Chains A and B, each alone.
Chain A
Amino acid sequence: MAWTRRPLPNDETTYQVWYAAGQWIIRGDSSSFATADFATYRTFPDVLQLPGGSYMSVQDLVSDGVRWYACDRNYGWARSTDGLAGAQWEFPSPQIISPSFGTAGAASLCVTSTGRIVARAGNYICVSDDDGATWAETGLATSAVSVSGAYDRPNDERITQSGDGTIVLTCRLGEFFVSDENGDTWSAIYPGVQYAIATVAKITAGYCVTYQDWDIPPRISTDNGSTWTDVALLGLPRAVAEGETLYLYGGEYGAPEVRVTTDLVTWSAIDPAGLAAEMFEDIAVGGGVLMGVTRWDSYGAYTAEVGPAVIAPIALPLRLMVAGVTPISLPLRLEVANAGAIRLPLRLSVGATGAPVALPLRLAVIDASAVGGLNGAGAWAAAPDGKWTAIVTLDGANISTRLHGACSVEIADNAARTAEFSFVPAAPLAVMGLFGRRVTIAFARADGTAAQPIFAGVVDVPTVDLQTGIITCECTDQAQEVWSNTARERIAELVGGRWHDALAGELEDNFAYLEERIQGMPASWALDVRQQPAVLPWQSPARTLTVRTADVIDGSLSVDLPSRDQLRTRIVCRLQYRFARLRARTVQASYSQPLSFFQPLVSNALGVLKQSKLLMTVAMVESATESVGGWTMEWREITSPRPGGWNLGSNLSPVLYYITPSTAQTLALGFSVRYSTRWQQSVTEDYTVAVVWSGLEAQLPAPVSEEMGASLEAEFDQPGWGQDPSVGPALPSTLLGDVVYDYKPAGFDDASRDELMRALLDRAWVRLWSASRSGRVSFALPCRPDISLSDAVALEHDAMRASGRVVAVTHTLNLESGTAVTDVAVAVGMPGATPAALPSWTLPAAPQDDYSPPISAYSCQIGTYVGGDPASPPWDEETMIGFSTNYEGPEDPSINYYPHQLRIKGPDLAAEDRDPRTLTVSAELSVAVPTDVLEIL
């Protein structure tokens, strides 16, 4: 094997070469050529004009054997329409391959052996099985390995498929990415060096990796990337493979060397005979030919006949798939433990049995006439002579015959039912022992028939008259205790309506829960005569009794009108909904100077007018970019000057400016860095919604308002979130700009906020009604034990017409005379007799945050300051943020010189971005509230 020089048609200097489908494409500094025989050359496009008139460069070029595919990382991708001629191109749709990247084009392409196109767009690896019509994102080419010194090298961003089918992707990171499933899945391999990878070649025996750095040796791995060893070969090495043969090129300028291996253990070398003193910028292999292209001194390209490559066996994988069958596994475990008995505890449960747990039932049948309607006929038919008796039991014993004085029972909304009676004990009695004893009371005809229960409960306060020995018992129906022992689910079922825990905070007691919950419903609570919890709606009574003048005991009728100080015309509801807004911001800092900025200013006539300036260094950029306070560096690209020599003067008066390759890679003309930061901001949606009873407000000289409020806070309990990227929740990444995520977990989300708002508005409406319902019409009747809180009364009295639900009843029986009366109180609201239902509510829209950060929020400060010139102002540490340098030459004490340094200042977060934010909403909702019949005649 020896080398043959292949001069190009116009002695073009070259730096990049591709081989595909028998064609060599050689890229020069100004144009590209294609050849298949090294005898005839034709130009090949290195720039394509896009349909919109702009251009894309051919940054990567691949072929499926039928046509060419070309791509540009930022502008588009193309497909040749004239086969392998490459003169005609089309730009398939879509041009945006990765929606996540959102930019047209790709950095590299590959067409696999199955015809699948694999592309890398931004950081996203995408595949297409329909020639680019649709794409799927199957991998992410990002790396946590920090690298230094990444710069542009030919063909260092490539996707290749090796002879064994493995797809290998390189992209100037310290890791490369492989897929052995035709691009469906990807994994990263880190060869152990924190430097940008230039090339990766893969054969069955393993991988060979080369780096962009001149002094970093290639590395090989024969265990699928787990361990790596160096190959002693320096000088910008490059590795390529064809089939099972791997070629590794390297060597100092003027001393090139190509090694060949098929097992990564034994190596041979290609005879350097025929090579001039140059260095290959790129190499490619195909069809048994290895080509190297040179950049310096116009040597053009060289080829070496390397013979047919060792081709990997064509394997046909076999797979047996049994669909729909789940393997039935039976794990076996052998445990050898300390010898001993294997115990199985036995338990005998002996329970208590007994007689059937019985509950006697009683049916009490009373005359229908005893509960006849109140229609003005006068006293109750069951007691035509107005004589009554009380049937009282104490712990099941009937003590009715020993009763003394009066017996009364008081029943009221939102209160316990109470009773009081006195009796003469049959024998000396320990009064204190009466606490909690069970009591039932019924009122019956004087002969004891047609008894109607009106009380069940316990003795609450017993007292004794020491003179007479008469014991008086104050009794309660234990309403608070019963409600406290009733499960909240049962209370919710009984009360109904809307509820949110944030209305009342933590409530330990179920009775307190009842009192809070019922404020959202137009209803009252009580126990019925069986001591069972009952919720009594203000509307829809069980029955309505008509009470006429003749029914009412003379002189007992009275009215308390709703008072103005109790009325409310509006309830102002204040709801504060607070949550954490998780924010992330990505900014990009870019800085660049042309090489001419640093070169001396030369006049052909006057020679050097200005000395050169000290260049920026790679180390300087690395240090400055990694220490921007408050920001985390996500990505960085440093542009180094191209090595070479320039005559800035004339042939007669040359001014030489020369940068060697080893120096060039330590210098920087510019850089681009992407930073990110994330933080959380407290946001409060502050709603003020007035529920207004417009009809009432129009009647009053001024609004009468009351406030009620609630707050809902979605607490974010990840204190390290802003500092530790591993702490979730993760936010979607963005190349530039902001990502905002409002943390609203279930139970604290917008739906919960709306639920709370509706529950609060329900309360407001009920409050308006309850405030107006403070009027009372009271009267006394001959005893009606059947009147209860579930009844409504329509009063048709000569002095007054009124209607409303019963809110208090007191039955009082004089045991000596047998006379009994029932005092009734009816709640009445504002006059009008107009029904109204609880509104369904149309909620005000959630507030929008109109603030958007100014462009400065995404801008880094990097200025340019040149000292060493008579016009240079004094150095100012505070304001001169950026790259500072000096003109070279002897120092002059009268001139200001600057530190040779680079400093970057990241953007500050504005108060609107950082501080707690309150977004207010105000609204007014007009409602109607039920009114009652109330006419004073």
Chain B
Amino acid sequence: MAFSWWADAGMTVPLSRLDFSRTNVPAPVDAVAWFGNPVPGTKLQAAADPGAAALLVTVSDDAPASGVEADQIKLANSSAGLATASWGAPLNLGVTINAGTAVPVYVRMDSPLVAGGNYDGIALQVPDWVELEV
């Protein structure tokens, strides 16, 4: 099994999309997702410089200037960390994530959108990785 996103810390429920829901009164909305691999035996490192460079979570926007923008997303390792995180900044997950351990990614979305509907096109991603045997 590969490293992927999960709805819970125990990596029971795979997560294919992280939904935020609010009324048409703009307000920040928080959610949390977990990143990891429940099957031990491997580790994930940054492909650019394994064991030295940090693994990052970035915000990608398929259609800039429409829908939710990357700079309307904050990422943090904890709920409290959202208060001081920078909008649009990547999140450092550390140099190595060992399989069997899930790391939380707290997300805050603060979009001015008010028209009713579903807004997609933006995503979190771990862009640069290599999975190695432990």
* A interface residue numbers (CB < 8 A to B): 349, 351-354, 356-368, 370-371, 396, 438, 449-453, 456, 478, 481-487, 490, 530-533
Contact = CB atoms under 8 A, between A and B. Distances in A.
10 contacts: A352-B130, A354-B2, A359-B33, A360-B122, A361-B120, A365-B119, A367-B24, A531-B12, A532-B7, A533-B8
Interface string B1-42: 011110111111111111111111100010111010000000
- What bracket does the count of chain B residues touching chain A fall in? 35 or more
A741 to B, nearest CB: 43
B67 to A, nearest CB: 8
Given A351-B131, A482-B13, A531-B7, A365 B123 contact: no
A199 B6 CA distance: 84
Contacts of B107: 361
A351 B10 contact: no
Ranked nearest first, the 10 interchain pairs of A and B with the lowest CB-CB distance are A485-B10, A368-B23, A356-B125, A351-B132, A351-B130, A356-B127, A358-B125, A359-B5, A363-B119, A359-B124
B80 interface: no
B115 interface: yes
Given A351-B130, A532-B7, A362 B116 contact: no
Contact of B24 (A352, A368, A396, A482): A368
B12 A365 contact: no
Contacts of B113: 363, 365
Nearest to A369: B23
Contact of B13 (A362, A453, A484, A531): A531
Nearest to B109: A363
Given A356-B125, A365-B117, A486 B23 contact: no
B32 A532 contact: yes
B124 A449 contact: no
A239 B126 CA distance: 89
Contacts of B120: 360-362
A362 B20 contact: yes
B94 interface: no
A364 B118 contact: yes
Contacts of B119: 362-365
Contacts of A482: 8, 10, 12-13
B129 interface: yes
B92 interface: no
Contacts of A352: 2, 130-131
B73 A359 contact: no
Interface in B93-121: 107, 109, 111, 113-120
Given A351-B47, A357-B129, A362-B20, 15 more contacts: A359-B124, A361-B109, A361-B124, A362-B17, A363-B22, A363-B109, A363-B119, A364-B118, A365-B113, A366-B23, A366-B24, A367-B24, A451-B118, A482-B8, A530-B31
B129 A365 contact: no
A371 B17 CA distance: 23
A477 to B, nearest CB: 9
Contacts of B45: 351
B77 interface: no
Contacts of A530: 7, 19, 31
Contacts of A364: 19-22, 117-119
B93 to A, nearest CB: 11
Nearest to B15: A359
A365 B24 contact: yes
B13 to A, nearest CB: 4
Contacts of A365: 22-24, 113-119
A353 B129 contact: yes
A532 B68 CA distance: 24
B4 to A, nearest CB: 6
A449 B115 CA distance: 12
A366 B19 CA distance: 13
B60 A358 contact: yes
B13 A363 contact: no
A361 B20 contact: yes
A349 B18 contact: no
Nearest to A352: B131
Nearest to A393: B16
A484 B20 CA distance: 26
Contact of B116 (A351, A450, A532): A450
A353 B31 CA distance: 28
Contacts of B118: 362-365, 451
Interface string B33-58: 10100000000010100100000000
Given A349-B132, A365-B114, A482-B12, A359 B17 contact: yes
Contacts of A359: 5, 15, 17-18, 33, 123-125
A78 B22 CA distance: 92
Given A364-B21, A396-B16, A530-B19, A357 B130 contact: no
B18 A487 contact: no
A358 B5 CA distance: 8
B42 to A, nearest CB: 8
A60 B120 CA distance: 100
Contact of B123 (A360, A449, A456, A531): A360
Contact of A358 (B9, B68, B124): B124
Contacts of B18: 359-362
A358 B19 CA distance: 14
A388 B14 CA distance: 29
